[in-house]
Amino acid sequence: MNHKTGAILVLSGPSGSGKSSILNEIIYDIGDCYFSISTTTRPIREGEADGIHYHFVSEEEFKKDIEEDHFLEYAFVHGNYYGTSIKPVKQALSEGKLVLFDIDVQGNTVVTNRLGDITTSVFISPPTLSELKRRLESRSTDEQDVIDRRLQMAKKEIQRISEYDFVVVNDNLEEAANVLRVIAQAARMKIPGNLINEFVQKWEDIEQ
């Protein structure tokens, strides 16, 4: 039963878990896809570019988009807003693409509730909290109070991994990438409920 309605792959995990590194390892192996770029009110960091890493907007602009229902999901995290614009997602799905989300546990709940029948979710995690702390401190991009908040958030997020279809422990980048590559390929095969119903109706082609 072939279909071209597209599918969604949600990636969640603490900052420092290696989501971007793993995705970079597999991005050219998983076929036609669209990476959903989040909109955020947080300040742009050195090395980032608007429209590539995030859409950087003011808090006023973000709240206006909330009022106009332009987000598939949004959340307030670490003192800033993050959200996913719905229009490009719908367009990519209509073109049969695999839409990739890098969102937190709150965002995963919203996406699953709205688009669960075509959504596959993956929680990516370092092997331990101490390893996460080491990674956050070694990249030297955040102040200690920010790192402390991220660690506290990670302790809350890890309690919700049962909400995900898969858990990938990023202890070895190559091995974690291999696992996610298989999951991404399987995600493309997920069939929307309406197409399943259509198939069942056509399959029952013998009159009683």
In a domain, 44, yes or no: no
Range of the domain at 145: 7-36+97-203
pLDDT tens digits, 61-74: 999 999 999 898 88
In a domain, 77, yes or no: no
List Cα–Cα distances, 38 to 54, 81, 111, 125, in angstroms. Answer: 5, 10, 14, 21
Give the start-end residues of each E strand in 78-194.
80-85, 98-102, 119-125, 166-169
In a domain, 179, yes or no: yes
pLDDT at 134 over 90: yes
In a domain, 48, yes or no: no
Q: What is the CATH number of the domain that holds 177?
A: 3.40.50.300
pTM: 0.80
Domain total in the chain: 1
Give the start-end residues of each E strand in 48-186.
55-56, 71-77, 80-85, 98-102, 119-125, 166-169
Helices (H) and strands (E) in the chain, counts: 8, 9
pLDDT given for residue 3 in this prediction: 56
Over residues 48-61, the mean pLDDT reads 89
Average pLDDT, the chain: 90
Query: Residue 120 pairs with which residues in a beta bridge?
Result: 9
pLDDT at 127 over 90: yes
In a domain, 27, yes or no: yes
Identify residue 114 by its one-letter amino acid code: R
